[in-house]
Structure 1
Amino acid sequence: MATKKKLIFQSLDNLSKENFLSFCAALVDREGDRRVPQSKVEGLQRFEVTNVLVSTFDDEAPAIVSELLESVGCEDEAKKLVPEKHFVDKHRIQLIQRVTNIDPILEGLLERGVLQYGVYEEISQTSGTQDKMKKIYDLALRSGDDVKNIFMELLHQQESYLVKDLLKDP
């Protein structure tokens, strides 16, 4: 997987000279607590601007660069920097509110090794499906995309109509 520095550089490198200059102008004009003065980017090459971005904004750099690229009309490059949210994250509120067949999903998470037995018991003993779903999000789904993919498979099996309905929404 490419590093944030490499991704940012590739995005800036794909810009025309005019768009790169517009990007640098937007960067200098950007509001916020961490600002980049014009002297830090004026006359610099793309790799040097990349270094300034990463050293100034650290982990937030890809999102900030994406925002600035969008502001200068370079939406295609902006999309490359910020990955699309996983279905489970994108539809968190709807899933918490609408999943009803929670017990088989919990069983599946236990069987697939996503949940330890103690966590399974804690969630099972929680009253109300919405509270159970919130606990699943808090205790299991923070573990990454692999866990979210397993959860998604179980949702497809137990709540297929809900999943189909949510897939219709952009």
Structure 2
Amino acid sequence: MARGRELILKALENLKEDEFKTFKYKLQNWQLRKGFTPIPRGKLSSMDRVDLSDKIVCCYLEGYGMELTAEVLLNMGIREEAVALQEAARSASNGNAAQSTQHSASASTASGEHFVDRHRVNLINRVTVLDPVLDELFGNVLIAEQYDTIRAETTIQKQMRKLYTFMRNWDNACKDMFLEALRKNNPFLVEELEKS
């Protein structure tokens, strides 16, 4: 959803210089959702609007990134931009939910357990092609630091275990992206697990 990044950038571009400085200060000190960490102060202070919109998406993903930006803007009293972002985030999450249902009817069980959670052990032990999967997730689900940390592991099994530690913060849309990347690059394994 590249549109989210563009909407965040548009909102930031509409801020005056002193408002942009206040936005960065508030973002640094904002109470984030569990599992997310603030952008380091040293990096944040030197970022321009384009860099910051990219960093927000990399650190917080597009959906939460739009919500977070809107919350900070509302707190600053910049209502028009905040409301536009909130509406876009809502429609995007509704669209993603519909899309997720279409693309992976078998992704979640009736209990709500996702395919990649249900088959965690098998996927860790049996995935043989991981590099292109990680490449597809990079920038959409994984930020650069996470991608590099996973790639630094010495075996595919260790890389998969590390990937699963980051997956704790993912919603079903992120897990669906992972499943689709697995389906493309490890089709026989996914097909076998779907039948089990």
Please report the TM-score for the alignment, with normalisation by the length of structure 2.
0.43
Q: Which has the larger radius of gyration?
A: 1
Please report the TM-score for the alignment, with normalisation by the length of structure 1.
0.49
